């Protein structure tokens, strides 16, 4: 994807940051290198002291942008879902047949992420790996309901809703458009993890891709009712 739509800023829930990291070079460095570090060492081992060292800045300066490492994780995952919603919209918009739209949507949601040069300070491929490995930690907490009220998970829920609307448009009689949408989106992440770490329970290889699997699953579910 090249700069068809440059300068589009991905919107992230404002409660996740104290100072907008997109508004300064230090902020952008925090984003760039937190992605690299979390990918390298995992979210548990990652902390603001290590991040400070990596960007030759100070722990205390990072706390001016994010009040906790949890909120930084929520920021990063929200950014990812916002970005993915964008991909979904622009790649399906011009298609005229609803079947093509649906198939394209499944492709966007289940394919391996490619880098998008529009956002130079964010490595989308690494961010996708972080989302695979750490996304669920952003909501599997005792504070989910509070965080949810603050709108932290809106970007994720918007992706689910958009996809479910395509499902309903393709098959208005289907009873579970939202559940099917969130199953595909969530399971696509899980299946990537399984493929890398629990190989004995995966069927994916060069010929058999998640996109193919989920496309069959969705189309069969919608084509033949119950």
Partner DNA sequence: AACGAAATGATAGTAATACTATTATATTTG
Partner DNA sequence: CAAATATAATAGTATTACTATCATTTCGTT
**Count of positions on this chain that bind a copy of itself (CB under 8 A):** 52
Residue 146 is a binding residue for DNA (CB under 7 A): no
Identify which of residues 63 and 204 has a Cβ nearer to DNA in the complex.
63
Q: Does 63 bind a copy of itself (CB under 8 A)?
A: no
Token readout for 150 is: 């603050």
Q: Whats the size of the chain, residue-wise?
A: 226
- Chosen from a copy of itself, DNA, none, partner binding at 209 (C-beta under 5 to 8 Å by type): none
Q: Counting contacts by CB under 7 A, is residue 26 touching DNA? A: yes
Residue 159 has, within 13 A of its CA and on its CB side, a CA count of 25
Q: What is the CA radius of gyration of the chain?
A: 18
- In the chain, DSSP finds a helix count (H) and a strand count (E) of 10, 0
Q: Is 176 in the site for a copy of itself (CB under 8 A)?
A: yes
What's the DSSP call for residue 209? -
CB 215 within 8 A of CB 100: no
Binding string, residues 35-64; x marks residues near DNA by CB under 7 A: ---------xx-xxx------xxxxxx-xx
Q: Whole-number minimum distance, CB 83 to DNA, in Å?
A: 24
Q: How far is the CB of 81 from DNA (least distance, A)?
A: 22
CB-neighbour burial class of residue 127 (10 A; exposed 0-12, middle 13-18, buried 19+): buried
The answer to whether residues 144 and 165 touch, using CB atoms and an 8 Å cutoff, is: no
What's CA 117's distance to the chain center, in Å? 17
**77 touches a copy of itself by CB under 8 A:** no
HSE-CB at 118 with a 13 A cutoff on CA atoms is 15
Which residues are near DNA by CB under 7 A? 19, 24-27, 44-45, 47-49, 56-61, 63-64, 67-70
Which residues are near a copy of itself by CB under 8 A? 41-42, 44-45, 133-134, 136-137, 139-142, 144-145, 148, 153, 157, 160-161, 164, 175-183, 186-187, 190-191, 193-194, 197-198, 200-204, 208, 210, 213, 216-217, 220-221, 223-224, 226
């Amino acid at each position: 994807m090249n700069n068809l739509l440059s300068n589009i800023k991905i919107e992230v829930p404002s409660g996740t940051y104290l100072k907008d990291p997109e508004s300064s070079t230090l902020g952008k460095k925090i984003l760039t290198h937190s992605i690299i570090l979390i990918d390298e060492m995992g979210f548990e081992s990652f902390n603001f002291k290590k991040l400070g060292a990596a960007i030759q800045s100070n722990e205390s300066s990072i706390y001016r942008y994010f009040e906790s490492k949890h909120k930084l994780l929520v920021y990063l995952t929200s950014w990812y879902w916002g970005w993915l919603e964008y991909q979904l919209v622009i790649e399906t918009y011009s298609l005229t047949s609803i079947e093509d739209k649906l198939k394209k949507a499944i492709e966007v949601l289940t394919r391996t992420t490619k880098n998008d040069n529009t956002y130079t300070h964010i490595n989308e491929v690494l961010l996708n790996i972080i989302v695979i490995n750490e996304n669920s930690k952003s909501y599997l907490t005792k504070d989910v309901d509070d965080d949810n009220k603050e709108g932290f998970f809106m970007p994720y829920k918007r992706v689910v809703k958009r996809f479910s609307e395509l499902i309903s448009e393709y098959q208005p009689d289907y009873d579970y458009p939202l559940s099917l949408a969130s199953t595909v989106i969530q399971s696509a992440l899980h299946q990537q993890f399984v493929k890398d770490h629990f190989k004995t329970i995966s069927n994916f290889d060069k010929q058999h891709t998640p996109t193919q699997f989920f496309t069959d699953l969705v189309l069969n579910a919608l084509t033949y009712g119950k």
